[in-house]
Structure 1
C-alpha cells in the first residue's frame, strides 16, 4: 500500500519550504510529504490521489492564499478525502477565520505562524492528530475481514469488539456480497454460521468466542505479575485515570477490564464538553489515548478479562479472573461503572444485538444508511447517539419519556438536535412492544399524555435509557445502597458510628468503601455526578487516597 499523504499548501515559498522541511524530518518514514503552492494546485493533486487510491492523512493549509482561502480549499478537498485530518496555518490576524472554520469544515486544529521550535509547537499537535487518523481511517484493505449479516447478534458482538478496541476491519455483508455468502456457506457445509472472521495470516474463525478472538487480536494477554500495589477493576474514565496516576506515582498498577478500555463513555460517538477538546472527541479515541498513556507510564491493562470474584484476606485483596488465575494486591479500586438498563418490553430479547442495540451506535450506524432508526432516551448519551446516527440514517426518531429534553440533556446537544433536519423528538412517549421475527419491523409507541398507542415502522432501535450499577462483584463484601451503588466515605458513617466491621481508628476516607483499602470511583458510587470529567477526577483522587492507605499497611 502506498504511504498516506501529508499535503502542505501555502503560497509563500519560504513558509512552504519550512513546513515541508519540518514535516519530512519527523514523518517521512511513515508518510509521503507533498506540497502545493495554491489551493487549485492542491485540489488537482487531491483528485489525482483519489484516482490512484492513495489515502490522504492530513491537510496542513495556509488560510490567507490568493484565489482560494484555506477554508475554501478544505471545503472542496474534503469531498474527495473526507477522512483526512485538517489543520490551518494562520497569522494572529486570522484566528477569527480559523475559529469559524472549526464549524465550517470540522477543523481539527489551527497553528499560528511561526511554529518554532517544532518539537514544542508542531510535532505534539500533529502526533495526536495523525494518531487519531490512524485509529479511524478506512485504508485500502489487507487486514481483518468479517463476513455476516447486520441482523446477526454474533456479527454485532464481533464488530462491537473490533470497533471499541479500534481494530480496523472490513465488513462483508453476505446479503449484498455473493462471494462472501458462498464462502460462508462453504465453511458451514451449506449452512451459514455467522459471523466468519478472516485474519490476515489466513486463519478463519467461525462464530468465534470473543475471548478467543481477543487473544488472536493481541487484546487479551496474561498478567505479568501475581502481586501489585494497586489493582483497578474497570477501564472506563475513572479506571483509566487511576491507572495513569497510579503508574506515574510509582505504584505497581494493573487494570482488569472485561471488554476493552472505555466503559460506557467508550461507546459515545462524540463527547463535546470534555475540557481541552474544543471540537469534541469520541469516547473510543479518549479511551485509546488514556490507555496508551497509562501503558507508557508502566500500568498493565488486562483487556477482555473478567474478574469473577473478589475476596479479602487480612490486608490483602485477591481477585479471581475468568481463566481461574488469581491476582493479589494491597489496594483495590472498584471502577466498574454502570450497565445499561433494558427496555423490558415484549420482543426485545429476540432481536437483541440484531436490530435492537444498547448504545453501540459507532459500530452499527453505517449499516443503517438511508434507514429510519429510533433512539430511546433523553440524556446526553442519547443525544450524542442521535447526532451520530443522523449522519447515516434518513430519519432518526427520538422517544423521550419527559416533556422535553431540557431537564436531562446539555443545551449544546439540544441546539444541535433542533437544527438537524432528519431528527424528530417525540416527548411524553415510551416504547411498549417491539415487532419482528428476524429483524425489527415496527415498535408500539405509547403517548403518556393522551394514553394512545401507535405502530411506528423502523429498522433499528438504539436505547440509552439509564443504567444499573456494576457492583455485583463486591455487593457481598462492601456496603451498597438499595439500588446497588457502592457507599463510600461519610455515606458509611451514621450517628458518628463507623460501618459494620470497621476496625480502624479513623473514619473511611472519601472514596473508601466499608472495607479498608478497597476504594470506589466513578459511576458505580452512590450519589455522584455522572460525567466523564467527574469520573476522571475521582480516579485521580482515589490514587492519592491509596497512598495514604498504603502508609498505614
Structure 2
C-alpha cells in the first residue's frame, strides 16, 4: 500500500524546497512528500493521485501565488480530497487572509513564514494535521439515515442529537419520494416518524437518545462498576476534568446526558479562547477534547441520565435513570446550565418547529433567504447572529437590555456592527409567537408595555440566560437560591463549616458540601461563565481530587 501524501505548494522555489526538505526530515518514513510550484500544477498532481487511488493526508499552500492564490487552490483541492487537512502559508501582513481562509475553506491552521525552527513552528502544526487526518482518514463514511418531517419536534431532536455527537447522517423528508420509499422498506408509517436507519439496515421508529447512541456506536454502558473519578457533564469543564484526570492516571469515566460540548459545543465560532487566534468552532473544540480524553484512557458515556448522588462510606455513588449505578473515590459535577425557557405565549407549542434553544446549526440550510430572529444579548446570541448572517437574508438580534456592552464581549459587538444584514433591537422582548404547522410570526414589544409589532419569521433561536442543571441533586449538596452549587469558602458561614461536614478541615476551593464531590464550570456558584475558566476549573478540580485522595 502506498504511503499517504503530504503536498506542499509555493511559487517561490527556495521556500518550496525548504518546506519539502523539512517535511521529509520528520515525516519521510511514513509519508510521501510532493511539492508543486503553482496552484494549477498542484491540482494536476492531485488529479493524478486521485486516479491512482492514493491518499492525501495534508496540504500546505502558500497564500500569495500568481494565477491562483492559496485559498482558490484549496477550494478546488477540497473537491478532490475533502478529508485532507489544510494549512495556509502566509506572511505576517497576510494574517487577514488566513482568517478569511478559516471561513471560506475551513483551513485547520495557518503558518507564518519563516517558520524556523521547524521543531517549534512547523512540526507541531503538521503533527496536528496528520493526527486529525488519521482519526478521519479516507474511510468511507457510514451514514445514518433519518426520515422525518421538517416541522416535527421529535425529528429535530434526533437530527440535533446526531449532529452534536458528530455522527454522520443523511436527512430524508417524508414529503420526498426517497423518504417515503425508505419508510416503506422499514415497514413504518408516516405516523411513526422519526425513523432512524443504521448503516447495517436496522430501522428504529421514534427512538430514544439511548437507542440512537447505541445504534450509532456511541458508548452507553460503563465498563466498570468502580472508578477513581466520575465526571458528570461533558461541557468544557467536564472534558477538562476528564482529560486531566485520565492523563494523570486516574480511572476516569465521563457521563453525558445529551452530547459532549455543552452550550460551548453549539457555538459557531469561539474567538477569545487562548491559543486559537483565528477562532475555533465549538464542535471542533469539543471533538478535539473528546478525542484527547479517550487518548488518555477516559471512558465517555453518552445518553446516560444521572438522577442521584450520595456518599456511601468512602465511595461516592452516581445513580442512573434506569436504576443502575456506578461508584468512585471522587466525583466532579460539571453539569453546566440550560437556556431558560422563553415565557412568551405559544412558545412551548412551537419548540422544535421554528423555535429553538441554542444555536441549532442543523437548521442553517433551512434559513437560506429567510428572516431569522435571535433572542438574547450575551456571547452565545452574538455568535449565533454572526453564524446565521452567512445563511439568512436578515438576522435580528432581540435584546431586552439597553445595550450589548453589559453582556457581550467587545470583539463580538464590533463584528456584529460590521455585518450589514444583522439588525439589533434593544429594549425589546418577544411576547407571543404564533403558527400552525410551524412558527410563522412573532410579536415584539418595545420597553415595558410599549408599542408592539408583529413580524414574519419561520426561525427564532433563544439564548436568554441560564438555569443550572441541579434539580436532580435534591438536598444532597448545598445550593444557592438560584440552584447553583456552593463550594469552598462559599460554604462557610461566619467562618463555620457547613452543617454535617465530617472532616477536620475546611472544604477545598471547588469542593461541595459532600467531601470528595467537586464542582467545576458554569454550575458552580460565583463561577465565571467563560469557556477558558470552565476548562481551568475542570483541571483544578482534578488537582484537588488528588489532594483529597492523599489525605484519606
1:314 match: 313
Residue 129 of structure 1: CA displacement?
A: 4.1
Partner of 2:164: 164
- What displacement does 1:193 show? 2.9
TM-superposed deviation, 1:240: 1.1
How far off is 1:139 after superposition? 10
1:257 corresponding residue in structure 2:
256
CA distance in 2: counterparts of 1:146 and 1:123, whole angstroms: 41
2: CA distance, partners of 1:398 / 1:371 = 14
Match of 1:537 in 2: 536
Where do residues 434-473 of structure 1 align in structure 2 (5 Å cutoff)? 434-448=433-447, 451-473=450-472
Deviations 1:92-128 (A, max 9, x none): xx3222x232234335433356768877654542343
User: Is 1:220 paired with 2:184?
Assistant: no
- The equivalent of 1:283 in structure 2 is 282
1:360 match: 359
Aligned match of 1:36: 36
Unaligned 5+ segments in structure 2 are none
> What is the alpha-carbon distance in structure 1 between the residues aligned to residue 10 and residue 407 of structure 2?
46
Q: Pick one of 91, 95, 100 that aligns with 2:92.
A: 95
- Tell me: CA distance 1:279–1:195, structure 2 relative to 1, closer, same or farther (3 Å): same
| Structure 1 unmatched ranges of 5 or more | none
C-alpha distance in structure 2 between counterparts of 1:278 and 1:51, whole Å: 37
CA distance in 1, matches of 2:198, 2:492: 55
Say if 1:272 and 1:279, in contact at 8 Å, map to a contact too. yes
In the alignment, the residues of structure 2 paired with residue 56 and residue 380 of structure 1 have an alpha-carbon distance, to the nearest angstrom, of 38
User: 1:350, 1:437 within 8 Å by CA — same for their partners in 2?
Assistant: no
SS at match of 2:166: coil
Q: Structure 2 length normalisation: TM-score?
A: 0.88
Cα distance change of structure 1 residues 116 and 147 upon mapping to structure 2, 3 Å threshold: farther
User: 1:61, CA displacement in angstroms?
Assistant: 1.5
Closer/same/farther in 2, CA of residues 253 and 395 from structure 1, 3 Å limit: same
Evaluate the alpha carbon distance shift between residue 135 and residue 300 of structure 1 in structure 2; reply closer, same or farther with a 3 A threshold. closer
**Count of residue pairs brought into register by the alignment:** 544
Partner of 1:155: 155
1:173 Cα deviation from its structure 2 partner: 3.3
1:105 corresponds in structure 2 to 101
Check conservation: 2:231, 2:255, Cα contact below 8 A.
yes
Q: Secondary structure of 2:190's partner? A: coil
What SS is found at the alignment partner of 1:446? strand
Query: Partner of 2:205 in structure 1?
Result: 206
d(CA) in 2 for partners of 1:53, 1:208 = 39
CA distance in 2 between counterparts of 1:151 and 1:52 reads: 45
Contact kept, 8 Å, 1:184 with 1:192, in 2: the verdict is: no
Tell me the equivalent position of 1:74: 71
Distance 2:438 2:6 in 1: 43
- Shift of residue 315, structure 1, vs aligned partner: 2.6
Normalising to structure 1: TM-score of the pair?
A: 0.88
Which 10-residue stretch deviates more, 242-251 or 532-541? 242-251
Partner of residue 375, structure 2: 376
2:230–2:255 contact (8 Å) kept in structure 1: yes
Could you say what the CA RMSD is over the residues aligned between the two structures, in angstroms? 3.4
The 1:516/1:130 distance shift into structure 2, 3 A limit, reads: same
Asked whether the 8 Å contact 1:230–1:251 carries over to 2, the reply is yes
Query: Cα offset for 1:345?
Result: 1.6
3-state secondary structure, aligned to 2:263: helix
Structure 1's 341 and 449: CA in aligned 2 closer, same or farther, altered over 3 A? closer
Q: Deviations over 1:55-93 (max 9, x none)?
A: 98754113454x347xx3414653784877542335xxx
CA distance in 1, matches of 2:133, 2:207: 29
How much does 1:178 deviate?
A: 2.3
SS at match of 2:453: strand
Q: CA deviation at 1:549?
A: 1.3
CA contact (8 A) 1:232 1:242 kept: yes
Distance 1:248 1:188, change over 3 A: same
Which 10-residue stretch deviates more, 456-465 or 326-335?
A: 326-335
Match of 2:144?
A: 144
Conservation of the 8 A alpha-carbon contact between 1:361 and 1:388: no
What residue number does 2:350 align with? 351
Q: 3-state SS of the aligned residue for 1:78? A: helix
- Which residue of structure 2 lines up, in the alignment, with residue 481 of structure 1? 480
2:303 corresponds in structure 1 to: 304
CA 81–56 in structure 1, closer or farther in 2 if over 3 Å, else same: farther
Matched residues in 2 for 1:256 and 1:508: separation? 25
Contact 1:520 1:542 in 2 (8 A): yes
Segment drifting more, 456-465 vs 16-25:
16-25
| 384 and 250 in structure 1: CA distance in 2 versus 1, 3 angstrom threshold | same
Q: Verify the 8 A CA contact 2:256 2:302 in the aligned structure 1.
A: yes
SS in 2 for 1:350: helix
The residue aligned with 2:236 is 237
